[in-house]
Amino acid sequence: MGTPAGRLYRRLEGLFAVYKPPGVHWKLVRDTVETNLLKGINSAAPPAPQLQVQFLPESTESSSGSTELKLTATCLPALAEHPRVTGPRFRKLRVGVGHRLDAFSSGLLVLAVGQGNKLLTDLYNSHVTRDYTVEGEFGMATDDFSNTGRLIERTTYDHITQDKLERVLAMIQGANQKALLAYSNVDMSSQEAYELAAKGSLYPQGKSPPIVTGLRCLHFEPPHFSLEIQCLHETQRFLCRLVHEVGLELRSTSVCTGVRRTRDGPFTLQMALTRNHWTLLDIVQAVQQSRSAWRQSTSRAFLPQDTRSRGGEQERHGVDEGARVAVSD
C-alpha cells in the first residue's frame, strides 16, 4: 500500500453518513457513491511503470570497416503494464449500507467502505436507536399506509384536537415501554432491573419487534401533523403503520406523507453528505470526522450526549450505545 492510491484507500476505510433523497432506491445511492469513489481513487497518481530489461541489437561501425552486431541492455517500460492494457487499478470497492431506507423515505443513511464494514455489524449489534420525523395527514386510509397507496376510505377529522393526539401518543409510548421491559430479558422484580431502569440503560437483548422509545408531536395543523419518533429495530413500513394506528385510535384515519430519518446512532444530520458532496475528498473528510467523533464518544462514555431527544433516559441510552460500539480504525 505504498502507492498514493493505496494510502488514499486507507484513509477512506470507515463509516460515513449520506442524505438519501426521497424517491430513490438505497442501492442506487450505494452504487453512485461507489462509482464516484472509484473515479476519484483511479485518478490518483499511478505507480511508476514497471521496467523490463530488453536486449536490443545495435550495429556499430568498427574502425576496420566491418559492421558488428552488439546487444545493449536497456530498461524499457513493459507494454503489458501499460494502463490501457491492464485497466484501472481499482475496479470494485466494498461499500456497505447500514440500516436501510426504502424508496419512499428519505434521510440519513450510514455507509461503510472496506474495513469499515466490520463496524457496521457492531453498529447493528449495539441496538442503537434512530430518530425519525414522520409527517401524516388525517382523513384518508390507504392499503400501504402512505399517501401513494390505493385509497380505501375517507373519514372526517374535525373532532381531533391536539390534546387528544397527545393522549394517544402517550398511550402508545406506554405500551412500547412495557415491550421494552419485556424484551430486555431482565427479571422485573430484581435489584438489577431497578438499577438499569434508573440509569436508563434497559434495552432489548437480541432480536425484538420494533419498539418506540420516544414519541412526541412536533406540529399539529389539521389535517397535517408531524411526529418525532425514536425507535429501534424498526422498518419504515412500521412507522407508516404507526401513523395509521394513531388515526384509528383517534376514531378517524390517517396516512403517512413522509418519513425522514434524522439520526442513526451517533450520526446526525449535520454530518450527512448531500448529493453534491458524494465525492472522494468529501467522503475522506467525513470518515476522519466520524472516527474522531467515535474516539471522543468512547472516552466520555458515561456523560450525557447532546442529542435532540427528550428526557435523560433517552440521552443516556444513546451514550451507552455509543460506548458499546467497538471502535477500530
Partner 1 sequence: MASAKLCQKCAGLLWGRMALVSLSASDSLLSARAAAVRTHTQSWSFTAFRLSHSASPGPPAAERRLTESSLLPYDSPGSNCTATERPSPDSPSLFEDLDRAPPLSPFEEISDDEAVQIVATPPLPPASTSLRDYVSQSETLTKLVQLGVDLWKLEQRRNVGSMLLRLDFQEDIQGRLLFLKDVGLQDSQLGPLITHNPFILTESLENLQARVSYLKSKRFSSEAVCRMVSKAPYLLNFSIQRLDNRLGFFQRHLGLSPLKTRDIVTRLPRLLCGSLEPVKENLKVFELELGFRPNEIQHIATRIPKVLTANKKRLTETFDYVHNTMGVPHSLIAKFPQVLNVRLLRIRERHQFLQYLGKAQYDPAQSGYVSLDRLVSLPDAVFCDEVASATLEDFEQFQKTL
Candidates 52-60, 118-126, 174-182, 212-220; binding stretch for partner 1 (CB under 8 A): 52-60
Shortest spacing between CB 278 and partner 1, in angstroms: 12
Closest CA to 321 of 202, 210, 235: 202
Catalytic residue flag (residue 102): yes
What's the first-to-final CA gap in the chain, in angstroms? 16
Q: Are the CB atoms for 100 and 201 separated by under 8 Å? A: no
Shortest spacing between CB 21 and partner 1, in angstroms: 6
Q: Which of positions 241-300 make contact with partner 1 (CB under 8 A)?
A: 260, 269, 272, 274-276
Shortest spacing between CB 276 and partner 1, in angstroms: 6
Q: Which of positions 90-149 make contact with partner 1 (CB under 8 A)?
A: 106
Cβ within 8 Å of residue 300, ≥6 positions away:
319
Choosing from 7, 70, 219, 300, the residue that interacts with partner 1 (CB under 8 A) is 70
Q: Is 86 in the site for partner 1 (CB under 8 A)?
A: yes
> What is the distance between the alpha carbons of residues 238 and 172, in angstroms, rounded to a whole number?
13
Closest CA to 292 of 312, 315, 320, 271: 271
Nearer to partner 1, 87 or 206 (CB): 87
Nearer to partner 1, 274 or 298 (CB): 274
Q: Is 22 in the site for partner 1 (CB under 8 A)?
A: yes
Position 150: which residue type?
R
Residues listed for the chain = 329
- b/e string for 207-239 if b means 16 or more Cβ within 10 A? ebebbbbbbeeeeeebbebbbbbbbbbbebbbb
Shortest spacing between CB 315 and partner 1, in angstroms: 23
Shortest spacing between CB 80 and partner 1, in angstroms: 4
Nearer to partner 1, 135 or 320 (CB): 135
Choosing from 85, 187, 207, 221, the residue that interacts with partner 1 (CB under 8 A) is 85
- b/e string for 9-19 if b means 16 or more Cβ within 10 A? beebbbbbbbb
Q: Is 78 in the site for partner 1 (CB under 8 A)?
A: yes
For binding to partner 1 (CB under 8 A), which residues are involved? 19, 21-24, 56-57, 59, 67-71, 78-80, 82, 84-88, 106, 260, 269, 272, 274-276
Known catalytic residues? 102
